[in-house]
Amino acid sequence: MLDHLGQEDLRLRLASSLARYAAPVDPAWIDDNGHMSVEAYSVLLRQVLGSALEEWGYGASYRKATGHGTFVVQTHSTYHRELKLGQVVLVTTRILGLDDKRVHVMSEFWNGEEGYRAAIMEYLTLNVSRSPAPRASPIEADARRKLHRFALEQAGVPVPADWRSGIRFKPSADVI
């Protein structure tokens, strides 16, 4: 199982520079099987990703200042254990790599009380200039430097030993 390191693995992530989010599992997130639904993970991921990107200087303020935005162009999710009503879902988010137009990000969903990993979601975002028509374009230099700095800080936290990325992405050698 991917959660073999359990609480020690979670403690390491919480002590790091990874972006974090925590909340009780909401009744609206529960499916007919009595656990958090796939849709709820996606909704929560959207909130978490927005907050993380803002923290990294690449969120709503970046869009407003540059006219650029991020489009998620690829996702990969794996589910390992259930999260049930009232349990605390804790999400850590990190940058796995980036190049001049793309950022590869991973979020780990944890049971915040018992310390087990419930799911991993990774995604690849593309920087898009919104004017005159949406098109892929380089990430603005200041934002790219900030993303690079966060990626380097987060690189010291190991990814799960038996995790394999579902997204094929090789960052430029000059970035990371």
What does the pLDDT look like over 131-151, one tens digit per residue?
Answer: 888 999 999 999 999 999 999
For 60-109, the pLDDT digits (tens) are: 999 999 999 999 999 999 999 999 999 999 998 999 999 999 999 999 99
Q: Is residue 169 part of a domain?
A: no
What letters, b where the CB count within 10 A reaches 16 and e where it falls short, cover 112-138?
beebbbbbbbbbbbbbbbeeeeeeebe
Q: Is residue 165 part of a domain?
A: no
Amino acid symbol at 80: H
Q: Is residue 175 part of a domain?
A: no
Q: What backbone phi and psi angles, to 5 degrees, belong to 82? A: -75, 150
Q: Is residue 97 part of a domain?
A: yes
Amino acid symbol at 100: D
Coil, helix or strand for 2? coil
The Cα 58–Cα 143 span in angstroms is 6
Count of CB atoms situated within 10 Å of the CB of 141: 9
User: How far is the first Cα of the chain from the last one, in angstroms, to the nearest whole number?
Assistant: 29
| Residue 48 · residue 106 · CB < 8 Å | no
Count of CB atoms situated within 10 Å of the CB of 71: 11
Could you tell me the CATH number of the domain that includes residue 100?
Answer: 3.10.129.10
Q: Is residue 161 part of a domain?
A: no
Q: How many structural domains does the chain have?
A: 1
Asked if pLDDT for residue 1 goes beyond 60, the answer is: no
Q: Is residue 166 part of a domain?
A: no
Q: Is residue 172 part of a domain?
A: no
Q: Is residue 103 part of a domain?
A: yes
